[in-house]
Amino acid sequence: MIVAPTAASVAEAARLIRDGGLVAFPTETVYGLGGDATNERAVAAIFEAKGRPSFNPLIAHVLDAAAAKAFVAWDGTAARLAARFWPGALTLVLPRLKDSSLSLLASAGLDTAAIRAPAHPVAQALIRAAGRPIAGPSANRSGAVSPTRAEHVAESLGERVPMILDGGPCLVGVESTVLDLTTATPTLLRPGGVTREAIEAVIGPVALSNGIPNGAAARKSPGQLASHYAPSRPVRLNVVSVELDEGLLAFGPSPLPGASLTYNLSPTGNLAEAAANLFAQLRALDRPGIGRIAVMPIPETGLGLAINDRLRRAAADDAAGSGR
Ligand code: TXA
Ligand code: MG
């Protein structure tokens, strides 16, 4: 059920979470499927509802750096990054504290945990009311396009989630950047809402590990399967012309002519606007009458890194993805 976020509905959602239930909640990046991150059964229920083929580790959502310190080994780099980007679209991977109460399943057997403080006021109100960290992958069936509106969650998860808090469309629109701080040089495991450039301006060089399928990065951040954000129609990237049966995902002031249906990620060529529109427009183009989705080139700078990463996954049509 989709409900407006009021003091009463947030309190009810928090009670559900404390009781081990699941609640879908808005964040500034995408909607999350939330459960008590300290409750193994709740975390197991998240994997079950998503239909994840394997136990990819989950992000624990907290209010701030002070809360994070109760669960992971905090250091100076984490402190500088949190001071600059929290609350916001940056997830930090840090060593679990020995006595960390975070679910082991949430870490999928790794001795590290991913943690982030979301900026959305409804997410913050829910975490505060629940009084515990909330584990939250994107609130969609595994492998499907991430939800940026409450209706997307209802379409993808249906009865599997009893309550969906409606926080409106997500302002960032792509998932958080995942940065591993347990390596000698911090490693970008997933490009996302905070750009590599912005991170490097705070902590210096960051190593890239852009989720090459089945490579080291895939093992380190198991969510990085190739075909992962896939619409049901084939996706063709960097097109310079459009075919008759295609729907066009355009970018910039000059959308290619000839498509049967066109959405423009950003007519002015603004990458933040494009990120915010990405998943909703991919969904809108994934409809009967459209044979394929053609995507115009997006610059590989700033937020373009995250956008192109998600588009490459949407276009990947490999064995790894068929298990989603
Ligand atoms: O924006 C977001 O990050 C959204 C919202 C809801 O917060 N959440 C999200 O969660 O995208 P999910 O589960 O779809 O992606 C989490 C990513 C996965 O790629 C996972 O492999 C990685 O973070 N991850 C989680 N824990 C990790 C760990 N201990 N070490 C390495 N990677 C980890
Ligand atoms: Mg996801």
DSSP assignment of 100-161 equals --S-TTTTTT-SEEEEE----HHHHHHHHHHTS-EE--BSSSTTSPPPSSHHHHHHHHGGG-
Q: At what angle do helices 271-285 and 304-315 cross, to 10 degrees?
A: 20
Give residue 212's pLDDT: 42
173 lines ligand 1 (CB under 6 A): no
Residue type at 271 in one-letter notation: L
Give residue 312's pLDDT: 93
Give residue 215's pLDDT: 35
Residue from 22, 28, 47, 56 to probe ligand 1 pocket by mutation (most atoms less than 8 Å from CB): 56
Give residue 56's pLDDT: 85
Give residue 319's pLDDT: 37
271 lines ligand 1 (CB under 6 A): no
pTM: 0.87
| Residues making up the chain, counted from first to last | 324
Alpha carbon nearest to ligand 1 atom 15, residue: 137
34 lines ligand 1 (CB under 6 A): no
Burial profile 172-184: b = 16 or more Cβ within 10 angstroms, e = fewer = bbbbbbbbbbbee
100 lines ligand 1 (CB under 6 A): no
**Residue 174 Cα, ligand 2 centroid: separation in angstroms?**
10
Ligand lying nearest the CA atom of residue 137: 1
Would you give per-residue pLDDT tens digits along the chain (324 residues)? 999 999 999 999 999 999 999 999 999 999 999 999 999 889 989 998 998 777 789 999 999 999 999 999 999 999 999 999 999 999 999 999 999 999 988 998 889 999 999 999 999 999 999 999 999 999 999 888 999 999 999 999 999 999 999 999 999 999 999 999 999 999 999 999 999 999 999 999 999 985 543 333 444 554 454 445 688 999 999 999 999 999 999 999 999 999 989 999 999 999 999 998 998 899 899 999 999 999 999 999 999 999 999 999 899 864 333 333
Taking the C-alpha atoms of 175, 55, 47 and 61 in order, what is their torsion angle to the nearest 10 degrees? -40
Q: At what angle do helices 150-157 and 271-285 cross, to 10 degrees?
A: 40
Decide if 150 contacts 1 (C-beta within 8 A).
no
Ligand lying nearest the CA atom of residue 34: 1
Decide if 58 contacts 136 (C-beta within 8 A).
yes
What is the spatial distance between Cα 126 and Cα 134, in angstroms, rounded to a whole number? Answer: 9
What is the spatial distance between Cα 87 and Cα 73, in angstroms, rounded to a whole number? Answer: 19
Beta-carbon neighbour count of residue 137 at 10 Å?
24
Decide if 58 contacts 106 (C-beta within 8 A).
yes
User: 101, 133, 160, 119: which is closest to 18 by C-alpha?
Assistant: 133
Ligand lying nearest the CA atom of residue 108: 1
Give residue 228's pLDDT: 57
What is the spatial distance between Cα 279 and Cα 271, in angstroms, rounded to a whole number? Answer: 14
In what side-by-side order are the strands of the sheet with 246-250?
Answer: 235-236, 292-295, 246-250, 261-264
What is the spatial distance between Cα 93 and Cα 183, in angstroms, rounded to a whole number? Answer: 10
What is the spatial distance between Cα 37 and Cα 77, in angstroms, rounded to a whole number? Answer: 24
Largest CA distance in the chain: 60
Instruction: Give the nearest ligand 1 atom to 29 CA.
Output: 1
User: Which residue has 């183009």 as its token pair?
Assistant: 285
